[in-house]
């Protein structure tokens, strides 16, 4: 799975290649809800449908006059954050999608992908992390919850 790396001040964030739209908006209060308006051009462009459900990630905007710049440390190199899982860790997850090979995919903190073979989309399972790599982890099912 391809990812785009976004640098924003000191925040390093992985954005999945499935990103359909990226725009700025304000959170507004309307009655008993808070609303973020999606510009019509984002829907008219063809990637978004008005009657579909999407994941939304909210990121703070740079302050006025501030520009987004790659974060650097004293060696001018930026290390990727450590994976948010460890081998042997047990988690309860929901399988969100299926990969190209038919394996179940779930995402944990920061959108980090965990591949879980022999699972189906929507299935809730308890998994054990068996292998952790820089951008992905692999797990086995310990127990099926549904």
Question: What CATH number has the domain bearing residue 135?
Answer: 2.40.50.140
Looking at 43, 74, 105, the residue that finishes a domain is 74
- Dist CA 27 CA 38 (whole Å): 11
Within this chain, do residues 22 and 61 fall inside the same structural domain, yes or no?
yes
pLDDT at residue 123, as a whole number: 96
pLDDT at residue 146, as a whole number: 84
pLDDT at residue 140, as a whole number: 97
pLDDT at residue 23, as a whole number: 66
φ, ψ (nearest 5 deg) of residue 47: -80, -30
- Residue located via tokens 């978004």: 48
Taking the alpha carbons at both ends of the chain, their separation in whole angstroms is 27
In this prediction the pTM is: 0.49
77 to 11, 67, 71, 80, 136: CA distances (angstroms): 14, 19, 9, 10, 22
Within this chain, do residues 61 and 97 fall inside the same structural domain, yes or no?
no
pLDDT at residue 30, as a whole number: 87
Provide the token pair at 61: 């905007």
Q: What is the mean pLDDT of each run of 10 residues along the chain (146 residues)?
A: 40 58 75 81 68 72 51 50 93 93 91 94 96 94 94
Number of domains in the chain: 2
Q: Is 114 in contact with 105 (CB distance < 8 Å)?
A: yes
Within this chain, do residues 40 and 13 fall inside the same structural domain, yes or no?
yes
The partner residues of 97 in beta bridges, in order of sequence, read 105
pLDDT at residue 5, as a whole number: 40
Domain, as residue range, for 122: 90-144
pLDDT at residue 104, as a whole number: 95
pLDDT at residue 76, as a whole number: 42
Q: What angle do CA 7, 11, 15 make, to 5 degrees?
A: 60
pLDDT at residue 16, as a whole number: 62
């Amino acid at each position: 799975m391809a990812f785009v790396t976004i640098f924003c001040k000191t925040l390093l964030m992985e954005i999945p290649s499935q990103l359909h739209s990226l725009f700025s908006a304000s959170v507004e209060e309307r009655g008993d809800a808070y609303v973020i308006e999606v510009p019509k051009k984002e829907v008219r462009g063809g990637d978004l449908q008005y009657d579909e459900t999407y994941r939304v990630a909210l990121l703070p905007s740079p302050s006025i006059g501030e520009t987004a710049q790659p974060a650097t440390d004293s060696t001018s190199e930026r290390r990727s954050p450590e994976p948010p899982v460890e081998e042997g860790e047990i988690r309860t997850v929901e399988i969100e999608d299926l990969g190209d090979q038919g394996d179940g995919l779930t995402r944990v903190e920061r959108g980090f992908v965990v591949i879980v073979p022999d699972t189906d989309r929507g299935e809730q399972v308890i998994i054990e992390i068996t292998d952790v790599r820089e951008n992905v982890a692999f797990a086995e099912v310990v127990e099926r919850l549904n």
